[in-house]
Amino acid sequence: MTPAITDVVVRDIRFPTSRTLDGSDAMNVGDYSATYVVLRTDDPRLEGHGLTFTNGRGNELTVAAARALAPHVQGRTLESITGDMRAFFRALTQDAQLRWLGPEKGVIHMACGALINAVWDLWAKREGKPVWKLLVDLPPERLVELVDFSYITDALSPDEALDILRRLGPTRPAREAEMRRDGYPAYTTSTGWLGYPDEKVRRLCREAIAEGWTHFKMKVGPDLDGNARRAALMKEELGPSRTLMMDANQCWDVGEAIRQMKALARFDPWWIEEPTSPDDVLGHAAIARAVAPIGVATGEACANRVVFKQLLQARAISFCQVDSCRVGGVNEVLSILLLAAKFGVPVCCHAGGVGLCEYVQHIALFDYIAVSGSLKDHVLEYVDHLHEHFVDPVRIKDARYLAPQAAGYSITMKPASLDEYEFPGGRAWRG
Amino acid sequence: MTPAITDVVVRDIRFPTSRTLDGSDAMNVGDYSATYVVLRTDDPRLEGHGLTFTNGRGNELTVAAARALAPHVQGRTLESITGDMRAFFRALTQDAQLRWLGPEKGVIHMACGALINAVWDLWAKREGKPVWKLLVDLPPERLVELVDFSYITDALSPDEALDILRRLGPTRPAREAEMRRDGYPAYTTSTGWLGYPDEKVRRLCREAIAEGWTHFKMKVGPDLDGNARRAALMKEELGPSRTLMMDANQCWDVGEAIRQMKALARFDPWWIEEPTSPDDVLGHAAIARAVAPIGVATGEACANRVVFKQLLQARAISFCQVDSCRVGGVNEVLSILLLAAKFGVPVCCHAGGVGLCEYVQHIALFDYIAVSGSLKDHVLEYVDHLHEHFVDPVRIKDARYLAPQAAGYSITMKPASLDEYEFPGGRAWRG
């Protein structure tokens, strides 16, 4: 008997991270939060968990959106969903009334991400596999059926997607064994938050170097002099053998991005992340042309596969940083991995926040084993925040993510954490 | 004394339009709804009203978003807002926590639209002028100060905007007199909804022709044969002297849009509206190149000025159909009018729904008098729905919008209508 989803519980979970300026950048000062979905089933031992990440205030909106979408999930058997996930994805994203609120963007789409990822967690737990392994074990034909190709067929047809997946089929086992042995290469964002004083940045850099990190990201902001000063400080700590990336978190216009990066080029940054609005495909393309060989990276705030399609078509990005739950969950991430593979652009998923590292390790492993087949220019973001709240947290060793082994999507939080940080009634928020 | 905003009331208003298939198209079957904002002031005779349009379920999300943003409005004096509207716009759209839910798109941005438009209604009522006239009476320097140029300076600088506005300054009075005398040319969408039976379409066409309409829009869908049959029927009724437009409501991929429009070209449509995803700038550009001289139109689901900037830069649209409340209210609409003027593309605002016709007449009048200075290829959408609920409804004569004369943004609904259609407690929704 396939389990049936009997109940969709949505909880508003918030961590008061703004009190310490963890996660501060040019545009965001947040309380890392989760719209946390639990799919209960008629098997009391089996639940699917999923979340979408938000930044504090407004988490109640994605919570309400997940509840508005819940009728598309509640009462269905797992098999009726996994048997035609393209239809399930479209039922959620093309709801005839709710789609006006997007379509496929912002609050409503982030809620889709939480629900769809919860289904994947449920499916993987039912199969007794981590999500990455569930994906790796699906044949190319089944993987293609998971993708909604609407609006992307001008860049990637189902047949092309099938070719990409089939090409790597025979060599999947070797890469799987490599990943189980070595893990997936990561970089750290934990050292260079904008709100940290210089001495804290130096200390964190030294600690991270001692732990074996080789790629470091710093935040940059509107003040060029301040950016240059902090970049010099980071470079001094990193030395010539380690790699520095910069992240502007959308704080510049196109012209200003070009001006700043020409000035900051002397610090040899590998990429400039989010130089301008995440909606500005043509702007990113203009910046990319102007600042090469520095690569342009973006994605954490890009709404959906249509935006990524264009960033790739316009040769606007050298690194694709899709977020695991801003877009419509595993299914839409898969479409973006395939698009990136078609255009030869490495996917380096956005992580951090709360739960994002837990999610993206599955995506990165699957991408390497079955879609891109390459580690060249691939590094996965790691931020050392809030992992203690997860039942199966990420494990980092020698600056690499170790392959998760527990069944599911690694996103299940500890019941005590959920209770303590539930907003507004949890202990962390009272008084 | 400038009034102070003492209270922000947000109401969930829904009309059960899906019962009659009014407003049905290829993607949406909705209950026309409004997230309705009232700004109460310390002057009991003075309130500002604004709404954002939604399509039924999910209106509770934009309601919750407006409440989440209300702290940026509540307690402020009107003068403190109107004295620096660029800063006010950025306070709403760049809230350090809420912006993660967009940024500047979907639920959160639509709620900004409701609040910002409510401020404009309040300002105009305080000045005793309709919003279009309040705008027309502002000097170019003041108009430029209303605009947030973030992310658009690569296409339009403040100085260029100033030049556009100054060029038309001396001739504003003549166009204002013309508009007061003749009104603004309109087209009708009321005849060609996808859910209507053929005989109803024929009857509505004949009635509209008798009323003097010259431009008619029909809905098209995935079925080419059905589209062709209905287009032939419309053309038969309209004859060679009237103009037919087509609206696909995003139902096609890029390749399919080109295929269908090549086949439908024999019906001589003036424009094809929303041929594909509203996020697909490059896709629209490809369609525009392929189907010329049929013009591509889009905008009702385009999230913000950054998307419009790119549609214009890429020469992807021949008609700019910005929505009055999906983007951030009058201020962001103004930035889009200026961008369109720079690129020489006519703005034909999206209307229909509930309250959108009431809004857009102000925008169109202001655009003609102060920004574009032209009526060539300009027609304003008109849909004959739900006007009876407004205190100062649109007035149509000989297929033209007559210039509104009452103070405000024409968006104030009758108290009895608000009570009857409030969801879920109003009489229309009980039982």
Residues of B in contact with A253 (CB under 8 A): 149-154
* Burial of residue B145 (number of CB atoms within 10 Å: 0-12, 13-18, 19+): middle
Cα–Cα distance between A263 and B328 in angstroms, integer?
A: 34
Touching B: A residues 311-340, CB under 8 Å = 313-314
Over range B328-348, report the average pLDDT: 98
Contact across the interface for B108 and A30, Cβ inside 8 Å: no
Whether the upstream peptide bond of residue A140 has omega within 30° of 0, thus cis, is no
Q: What is the mean pLDDT of chain B?
A: 96
Q: Does B109 touch chain A (CB under 8 A)?
A: yes
Cα–Cα distance between A22 and B109 in angstroms, integer?
A: 26
**Is 80 exceeded by the pLDDT of residue B69?**
yes
Tokens representing B123? 């300002």
pLDDT, tens digit, 9 for 90 and up, residues A137-172? 999 999 999 999 999 999 999 999 999 999 999 999
Contact across the interface for B64 and A64, Cβ inside 8 Å: yes
Cα–Cα distance between A99 and B89 in angstroms, integer?
A: 25
Residue-range domains of chain A with CATH: 169-413 (3.20.20.120)
Touching A: B residues 138-167, CB under 8 Å = 149-154
**Is 80 exceeded by the pLDDT of residue A361?**
yes
Over range A193-222, report the average pLDDT: 93
**Is 90 exceeded by the pLDDT of residue B78?**
yes
* Burial of residue B307 (number of CB atoms within 10 Å: 0-12, 13-18, 19+): buried
Give percent helix, percent strand, percent coil of chain A, each to the nearest 5: 45, 15, 40
pLDDT, tens digit, 9 for 90 and up, residues B181-234? 999 999 998 887 887 899 999 999 999 999 999 999 999 999 999 999 999 999
Neighbours of A141 (CB within 10 A): 11
pLDDT of residue B321: 98
Residues of B in contact with A97 (CB under 8 A): 18, 28-31, 55-58
CA-based nearest distance A29→chain B, Å: 6
Contact across the interface for A97 and B31, Cβ inside 8 Å: yes
pLDDT of residue B23: 64
pLDDT, tens digit, 9 for 90 and up, residues A241-264? 999 999 999 999 999 999 999 999
pLDDT of residue A22: 66
pLDDT of residue A23: 64
How many interface pairs between A and B have CB atoms less than 8 angstroms apart? Answer: 202
pLDDT of residue B238: 97
Cα–Cα distance between B51 and B35 in angstroms, integer?
A: 5
Q: Which of A28, A96, A282 is nearest residue B96 as measured by Cβ atoms?
A: A28
Contact across the interface for B102 and A106, Cβ inside 8 Å: yes
pLDDT, tens digit, 9 for 90 and up, residues A201-210? 999 999 999 9
> Could you tell me the pLDDT band of residue B95, with boundaries at 50, 70 and 90?
very high
Over range B100-122, report the average pLDDT: 98
Residues of B in contact with A159 (CB under 8 A): none
Distances (CA, A) of A21 to A16, A52, A224, B101, B164: 10, 21, 21, 20, 43
Q: What is the mean pLDDT of chain A?
A: 96
Touching B: A residues 237-256, CB under 8 Å = 250, 253-255
Q: Does A277 touch chain B (CB under 8 A)?
A: yes
**Is 70 exceeded by the pLDDT of residue B22?**
no
Contact across the interface for A301 and B105, Cβ inside 8 Å: no
Residues of B in contact with A280 (CB under 8 A): 151, 306, 309-310
Contact across the interface for A95 and B57, Cβ inside 8 Å: yes
Neighbours of B83 (CB within 10 A): 12
**Is 70 exceeded by the pLDDT of residue B41?**
yes
| Cα torsion through B380, B383, B389, B391, rounded to 10 | 20
- Residues B411, B117: contact at Cβ < 8 Å? yes
Over range A413-423, report the average pLDDT: 98
Q: Half-sphere exposure of A90 toward its Cβ, with a 13 Å CA cutoff?
A: 12
**Is 70 exceeded by the pLDDT of residue B94?**
yes
Tokens representing A180? 């189980």
Q: Which of A350, A362, A385, A389 is catalytic?
A: A350
CA-based nearest distance A92→chain B, Å: 13
Tokens representing A343? 């255009």
In chain A, which residue's Cα lies nearest the Cα of B93? A27
Distances (CA, A) of A110 to A66, A92, A382, A426, B350: 9, 11, 21, 24, 26
pLDDT of residue B323: 98
In chain A, which residue's Cα lies nearest the Cα of B149? A253
pLDDT, tens digit, 9 for 90 and up, residues B227-259? 999 999 999 999 999 999 999 999 999 999 999
The whole model's pTM is what?
0.98
Q: Does B268 touch chain A (CB under 8 A)?
A: no
**Is 90 exceeded by the pLDDT of residue A196?**
no
Classify each residue of A101-136 as buried b or exposed e, where b means 16 or more C-beta atoms within 10 Å of its C-beta.
bbbbbbbbbbbbbbbbbbbbbbbbbbeebbbbbbbb
Contact across the interface for A97 and B304, Cβ inside 8 Å: no
Q: Which of A56, A101, A276 is nearest residue B107 as measured by Cβ atoms?
A: A101
Q: Which of B101, B250, B354 to mutate to test the interface with A (most CBs of A within 10 A)?
A: B101
**Is 70 exceeded by the pLDDT of residue B24?**
no
Q: Which of A61, A104, A281 is nearest residue B64 as measured by Cβ atoms?
A: A61
Q: Which of B57, B303, B310 is nearest residue A98 as measured by Cβ atoms?
A: B57
Helix (H, G, I), strand (E, B) or coil at A397: strand
